[in-house]
Amino acid sequence: MSIILALAWRLNADDITRFETLLPFLATLYDGVSIASPPTDDEALIAPVQALTTLPIKLRISARGNENRRYYTLQQALTFDDVSHVHYCDGDHALARMERDPDDWKAIVDALQHTDCLVIGRSEAVFESYPRPLVGTERIINRVASHLVGQAVDLGAGSRGFSRKAVEFLMQYASPETHGIATDSEWVVLLYRGGYALTTYVSDSAIYEVVSEAQRQLLESAEQWAKRVNIAQMIIKAGLDASVRGDLPEQ
């Protein structure tokens, strides 16, 4: 049995240093790390990550274009030996969450081993700390998704845990052509429709890292409200489309 951490991650030099510092911690939880990175991340960034394979954890990194990197990092995770579970997280938030509360992160890894799909949500305090355009639009997304799967879910933390059979199901029935962010709803609804167990975990570490006041002002601008409304429409549509698929196996 092995657990793989799967990241869709736009590399930058500062985060690579943080990642290297966290590798001993990761090695206590995972047997490997799968990374899907944009091809615009040049070799000067990718090479140092590839060089980390000498450490006691397996690492595989691939470059994807404007494709669904969430889908492809899960697909790559299945190429590791004896995979039993996959922990997905958006790479731009994973490091800050591990640093903030490693015990919470460990609890997530423990919880994901006992279900087919662990929906990692946010405590109310963490949710309210997000930029206002995300809070406002994600409440609507969550209401629709909760109705579709018959239980309360919070889909906006950018992190899930999956059993191997759940990942294999997604590789067969989810589409790599789906916009990556729309997998927030597509994957959970598809797994629900496929009869897989959905469990929720409320995290106190699932923060949205904001590194400066200038970044926060940008994230709370009128332009971001417009962007997030469009994203919410995309995520909700993907969930609704998944809910009426006629090609899924009967439960």
Q: How far is CA 226 from CA 131, 137, 145, 232, in A?
A: 13, 10, 21, 10
Decide if 6 contacts 61 (C-beta within 8 A): no
Residue 85 is assigned to a structural domain of this protein: yes
Does residue 122 belong to any structural domain of this protein? yes
Closest of 203, 160, 155 to residue 182, by C-alpha: 155
Q: How confident is the model at residue 58 (pLDDT cuts 50, 70, 90)?
A: confident
The answer as to whether 157 is a domain residue is yes
When divided into structural domains, the chain yields a total of 1
Assess whether pLDDT exceeds 70 at residue 55.
Answer: no
Which pLDDT value is given to residue 67?
A: 81
Cα separation, 216 vs 220, whole angstroms: 6
Q: Are 3 and 85 in contact (CB under 8 A)?
A: yes
Domain span at 89: 2-243
pLDDT at 44 exceeding the cut of 70: no
Under the banding of pLDDT at 50, 70 and 90, the label for residue 92 is confident
CA-wise closest residue to 221 among 156, 135, 149, 133: 133
Residue pLDDT, tens place only, 174-220 = 999 999 999 999 999 999 999 999 999 999 999 999 988 899 999 99
Q: Which amino acid is at 6?
A: A
SS3 assignment, position 18: helix
Largest alpha-carbon pair distance within the chain? 50
Which residue in the block uniquely carries the two structure tokens 């609890």? 107
Residue 250 lies in a domain: no
**CATH assignment of the domain containing 49:** 3.90.550.10
Q: What percent of the chain has pLDDT over 90?
A: 77
pTM of the full predicted structure? 0.93
129 belongs to a structural domain: yes
Does the pLDDT value for residue 51 go beyond 70?
A: no
Residue 123 dihedral angles phi and psi, to the nearest 5°: -60, 160
